[in-house]
Structure 1
Amino acid sequence: MSVKVLKHAAIYTGEEFIADGYVRFDEHVLAVGPVNEYHAQAGDEVIDAGGQILVPGFIDVHSHGGYGFDAMDGDPDQISTMATKMMRNEGVTTLFATTMTQSTENIDHAMRGVAQAAEHNPIIQGVHLEGPFISAIFKGAQPEEYIKNPNVELLAQWNKLSGNRVKLITYAPEDPGSQDFEDYCLSHGIVPSVGHSNATREQMLHSKATHVTHLYNAQREFKHREPGVTGHAMLEDNMYAELICDGFHIVPDMIRLAVEQKGFNRIELVTDSMRAKGMPEGESELGGQKVFVKDKQARLSDGTLAGSVLQFKDAFVNVMKFTGASIADAVQMASVNQAVEFGLDSKGTIAPGKDADMNLFDRTLQLQKTFSFGKEYTPEV
């Protein structure tokens, strides 16, 4: 790959801000700094950014699907296409393909499909198993008939089928078998995440969960006599919290409350998107259930929110609009925290030696280009 130089960008590296900077890169970042420190080298392909804004590529650790595809379909070509569309249209350069509560056979199929897709598409860096080890009380849009108690053998089976790519699992820590389940996760590099859970604060204090799936949604809420899952996540400094910043799953004031309480270094933006993202409004599908999409909201027939149609680039802008966060703060929540939590050492910041995963926005924060491993892409629409 030829060496490219992006000049005259306002660069938020994830570690510092460079008002008029340059990045020299091929598949990896070779150098970054103030533009007056750049010395032209033979063969460099120079791109003038014209003062536009450059940030690290986004990391979505919770996305089921989009553009007509879903990880549960288990089709490796479709899963790969889905990941590429998320990259070029939304700036997601790292994806954890996310499953949901379904039959053992269907999850087996999904794990095989994701494993094959990841072998050919390095955007897919992991799997997020959302269920089936959840609480029926807070099942949300997950089909109740497939819910199970935490089961180490099943988790080990799915991890093996995925090529040991399971990085995150959503479960209900109050259910029987959780302790052994958590121990397996911690010994196999899997982050245990409380979600779709009715756990009390006391139960959470005995849990090893260090992550909360879509904070506020589908969990025991916090009240003045029982903090619940949400209160526990707010109170404990070691807990990373996912936020779906579409304005529907969480009203903006509650997003601001979470950010102010947790701080920018413990919030992770996610989309929790499903196959209807990027598609026309109307009828869609999630886990064998009919979903109806209208006014940027996806709901089951009973009105239950069923994932989202949120694009990550909009979550990035929305968190600033809803909370007053700066671009640097939004970068922390969109890229840096995920890389730190999941040990994605080549991701999350724009720094020498890291993968050249970057997003270029204009000054109105409209996505213009995405670089994935140094290759340039523009949005399809």
Structure 2
Amino acid sequence: MSAKVLKHAKIYTGDQVIEDGYIRFDKQVLAVGPVFEYKAEADDEIQNVQGTTIIPGFIDVHAHGGYGYDAMDGDPDQIDTMATKMMRNEGVTTLFATTMTQSNDNIAHAMKGVKAAAAKNPIIKGVHLEGPFISPVYKGAQPEQYIKDPNVKLLGEWNELSGGLVKLITYAPEDPGSAAFENYCIANGIVPSVGHSNATREQLLNSKATHVTHLYNAQREFKHRQPGVTGHAMLEDNMHAELICDGFHIVPDMIRLAFDQKGADRIELVTDSMRSKGMPEGESELGGQKVFVKDKQARLADGTLAGSVLQFIDAFKNIQSFTGCSMYEAVLMSSVNQAEEFHLDHKGILEVGRDADMNLIDQDMNLKATYSYGNENHPE
């Protein structure tokens, strides 16, 4: 079987930088290193990509929708199409389809839909349940009428309907029933993430949350007498912090503060995108609520931010622009950290035996091609 070879690119593998490199692959990486080490095989399909950079494919663990579709619609074909468009247009090669606070039946329907979509589309590697076990104080754009206390039985039912795809759950740890809920999550490989929460630092020190959903947004704020959710996430080394780097959810200075405090190995870029991403501006929908998209911002009628229309390639550019971090560090925050935290053992790093998931970008960091399991795709 022939293999593809990309030569003369600068390659960020996720653990090293190769200035003039090559990568040989089929569905998986077969070899990667400096060009002078390349030994041609008879059937190799060789492409000179000089002037470009190769980085691992992006991993988005928090994306509700885009391109007119939403995971909550529960339509397998639409979720499949949504994931494929995120891959082609943004470089996302691994996706956690994200739900929101809704009725039990609607969430159950979404779980079935994501399971069926994942059976067709291997990009979909998990579900992020955002709610409904959250605090009404920091509900953000989540509909309050469906908020409920943590419920192990419900979570178990939803996880079973998804085919065991629930990998991340956003909840409010201050609820008295959280301890048993957290234990269930950990026993079943689900990362507990504090978000949409009014928890104090003291409550969080007694919780088992190791992840924070969209740092700064929809959570008890960082204050001088109470660090809150944001302060706790900043202070604890075991906390992985999501950042929405669109410049609206968090101003660039506060992104830089988070980067300076947490470092590149504990931050994970996410889009938190909704169905209007990649669509014309105007009226849209989120969880049965009207959303208005204007100037690259999605807001409810009362002005509350309602997810984003951020594309992941732009988050990758923005984190470098906002913080001055290196591309090596941006790769950690867009791929490597997610793969490590969620035990995605074949993702995140370009090394022999891992999936050939990678992005080819030009000198302006524009996406030229995305390879998913070795298959070449281009922005639409």
Query: Shorter-chain-normalised TM-score: which range?
Result: over 0.9
Q: Does 1:67 align with 2:63?
A: no
Q: Does 1:122 align with 2:110?
A: no
SS in 2 for 1:30: strand
Question: 2:159 is matched by which residue type in structure 1?
Answer: N
SS in 2 for 1:264: coil
How many residues of Structure 1 are paired with residues of Structure 2 in the alignment?
380
Q: Distance in 1 between matches of 2:301 and 2:138?
A: 17
The answer to whether the Cα contact below 8 Å between 1:88 and 1:370 also exists between their aligned partners in 2 is yes
Matched with 2:374 is 374
Q: Deviations over 1:115-134 (max 9, x none)?
A: 00001100000000000000
Matched with 1:345 is 345
Matched with 1:363 is 363
| Identity score, percent | 76
The answer to whether the Cα contact below 8 Å between 1:185 and 1:192 also exists between their aligned partners in 2 is yes
Q: Does 1:102 align with 2:102?
A: yes
- Residue 27 of structure 1 deviates from its aligned partner by 0.1
Q: Distance in 1 between matches of 2:183 and 2:17?
A: 40
Matched with 1:39 is 39
Q: Distance in 1 between matches of 2:5 and 2:251?
A: 41
Matched with 2:305 is 305
SS in 2 for 1:253: helix
Q: Distance in 2 between matches of 1:126 and 1:12?
A: 25
Question: 1:18 is matched by which residue type in structure 2?
Answer: I
Q: Deviations over 1:264-309 (max 9, x none)?
A: 0000000000000000000000000000000000000000000000
- Structure 2 stretches lacking a partner, 5+ long: none
Matched with 1:253 is 253
- Residue 2 of structure 1 deviates from its aligned partner by 3.4
Matched with 2:318 is 318
Q: Distance in 1 between matches of 2:40 and 2:219?
A: 55
Matched with 2:206 is 206
Question: 1:198 is matched by which residue type in structure 2?
Answer: N
Q: Distance in 1 between matches of 2:299 and 2:47?
A: 43
SS in 1 for 2:265: helix
- Trace 1:138-149 onto structure 2 (pairs within 5 A): 138-149=138-149
Q: Deviations over 1:294-344 (max 9, x none)?
A: 000000000000000000000000000000011100000000000000000
- Residue 176 of structure 1 deviates from its aligned partner by 2.4
- Residue 40 of structure 1 deviates from its aligned partner by 1.0
- Structure 1 stretches lacking a partner, 5+ long: none
Q: Distance in 2 between matches of 1:142 and 1:101?
A: 6
The answer to whether the Cα contact below 8 Å between 1:290 and 1:300 also exists between their aligned partners in 2 is yes
- Trace 1:184-203 onto structure 2 (pairs within 5 A): 184-203=184-203
Matched with 1:28 is 28
TM-score for the superposition, normalised by structure 2: 1.00
- Residue 47 of structure 1 deviates from its aligned partner by 1.0
Matched with 1:336 is 336
Q: Distance in 2 between matches of 1:242 and 1:138?
A: 17
SS in 1 for 2:115: helix
Q: Distance in 1 between matches of 2:287 and 2:127?
A: 17
- Trace 1:154-303 onto structure 2 (pairs within 5 A): 154-303=154-303
Question: 1:40 is matched by which residue type in structure 2?
Answer: A
- Residue 51 of structure 1 deviates from its aligned partner by 2.4
Matched with 1:55 is 55
Question: 2:108 is matched by which residue type in structure 1?
Answer: D
The answer to whether the Cα contact below 8 Å between 1:20 and 1:51 also exists between their aligned partners in 2 is no
Q: Distance in 2 between matches of 1:175 and 1:42?
A: 63
Deviating runs (4+, > 3 A) in structure 1? none
Q: Deviations over 1:354-380 (max 9, x none)?
A: 000000000111100000000000000
Q: Deviations over 1:226-264 (max 9, x none)?
A: 000000000000000000000000000000000110010
Q: Distance in 2 between matches of 1:198 and 1:47?
A: 53
Q: Does 1:93 align with 2:96?
A: no
Question: 1:273 is matched by which residue type in structure 2?
Answer: S
Q: Distance in 2 between matches of 1:193 and 1:187?
A: 15
Question: 1:305 is matched by which residue type in structure 2?
Answer: L
SS in 1 for 2:290: strand
